[in-house]
Structure formats: structure tokens, C-alpha cells
Amino acid sequence: MKILISAGPTIEKIDPARYISNFSSGKMGYALAKSAKSLRHDVVLVSGPVSIKEIHGVKTIHVESTADMACEIRRESRNADLVIMAAAVADYRPAKFAEQKIKKSNDKMILELEKTEDILAWLGRNRRKSQTIVGFSAETENLIENAVKKLKAKKIDWIVANEIGKNDRGFSSDTNAVTLISKKGDTTEIPLMKKEKVAQRILGIIGIKEAGRV
Ligand code: CTP
């Protein structure tokens, strides 16, 4: 199988000195890529800026902005059998990039933002029949309800409901606890464990076996 995975944050530049982003470390996406590779699949990883070493044998494409990630995912998804969007994609970017460093003047400053493209929703709209699409849902409240809404709105096959804002799960920890929900409504809880183990469990639940095995 060709498996395409996104990982890490995206960053949106304000001026040559500054950007907006989020706390994603990329650990969950890299763990998924490593697990998929160890099952001997052909893995492509589109990674936002992270401080994790590349995985041997995994083609890694480094990007910064949501627009760059969208471009790479659109291209690589053409022949992917499975796409997992584990990246924490920035929802908004500055409406205008300031070519020169913005100088400090007034006590308050308003930064105008515009929506970025929703890559996962694009994948849901443009999928091939045989393609499986998995999203993540980063939430601080109403975990399952919000995840199900995203699963339906983005027309994907699976969503990983992932609580953030706690020390032992979510963005920067080495462990995670998630709930995997299918479009049919099947729900599987994966309790707190190392992100590598969570990754193996996710791939197992969505039916990814070792290459060559039926
Ligand atoms: N996603 C995406 N493109 C975006 C925003 C999100 O592809 N511009 C993907 C993420 O990679 C993730 C899923 O959509 O797989 C859900 O992301 P999340 O941030 O949890 O939700 P949003 O759809 O952005 O909604 P909200 O931030 O309001 O919760």
C-alpha cells in the first residue's frame, strides 16, 4: 500500500521575524509513519517544522505553511491508498505578509487573519473510491461530539478523537490516549500508552496488515 501521513504543525508567517503556529510536536504522525513502515508499506510523510529525525526508508517532504502542505498532500494523495492527516494544520493565516519587520508602535495591535484551506475536507471531496481517509480531531471539550461532527462534515472514513491540553496526551507528550471512530459509528478507545503503541493500534483497527499478508 502507499500510505500518506501528515505530521507536526504548520506555521504562518506574519513578517520576516514572526509567525503563528501551535504546540504540535509531530510525535504522533511520526509514530504512525514508523509503524506503517515497519509493516513494510510505501510511506510518504509530509511534515511541518518539528525537531524529530527523519525515519529511515520513509520519504519525508518538509513544509512550513498550510498552503505548502496542501500542495504536497494534493499531489502525493493521487496514488495513495490510505491518507492520515495527523498534522495540526493552522486554521488561519495573516491576511497579508509584511515584507518588512512590523515595528512596535501603539499599545494594541490588530492582526487580520484569513482562513486557510481545509486539506482534509479537500481529500474527502476528491477521494477515489478505494481510498481510506483518516483525520485527527484535537479537542479540549466535547471530545466525541466534536470529532463525529468533523468526521461527517469532512466526509472521511475514520477520525481519531484526541484530547489536548493535558500533560500525558495530545500535542507534545510521548504518550497519548485516543478514541477511534468509524463513519459507521464504531468506537474504539485506546487507553494511555506510548505514541508508538497508539500508532500500531490505530493501524490495526483500520485494518492495515503487514504488506503481503491477506
Ligand atoms: N485539517 C486540515 N486542514 C485545515 C485544518 C485541519 O486538513 N486547515 C485537518 C487536521 O489535520 C485534522 C482535522 O482536519 O486531521 C481536524 O483538525 P482540527 O484542528 O481538530 O479541527 P478543525 O477542522 O480545524 O476545527 P476546529 O479547529 O474548529 O476544531
Ligand 1, atom 3: nearest CA belongs to which residue?
Answer: 118
* Domains, the chain: 2-99+112-205 (3.40.50.10300)
The distance of Cα 210 from the centroid of its chain, to the nearest Å, equals 23
Q: Is 138 in the pocket of ligand 1 (CB under 6 A)?
A: yes
pLDDT band for position 213 (50/70/90)? confident
The tens digit of pLDDT for each residue in 37-90 reads 999 999 999 999 999 999 999 999 999 999 999 999 999 999 999 999 999 999
DSSP sequence for 16-68: TTEEE-----SHHHHHHHHHHHHTT-EEEEEE-S-S-PPPTT-EEEE--SHHH
Instruction: Report in angstroms the alpha-carbon separations of 74 from 10, 111, 151.
Output: 16, 29, 19
Query: What's the predicted TM-score (pTM) here?
Result: 0.97
- The mean pLDDT value for 188-213 works out to 96
Distance, in Å, from the CA atom of 28 to the CA atom of 105, rounded to the nearest integer, reads 40
Distance, in Å, from the CA atom of 89 to the CA atom of 68, rounded to the nearest integer, reads 11
Task: Indicate which residues carry an active-site annotation.
Answer: 22
- Residue holding cell 509567525? 19
pLDDT exceeds 80 at position 187: yes
How many angstroms does the Cα of residue 203 sit away from the middle of ligand 1?
20
- The mean pLDDT value for 166-195 works out to 96
Ligand 1, atom 20: nearest CA belongs to which residue?
Answer: 137
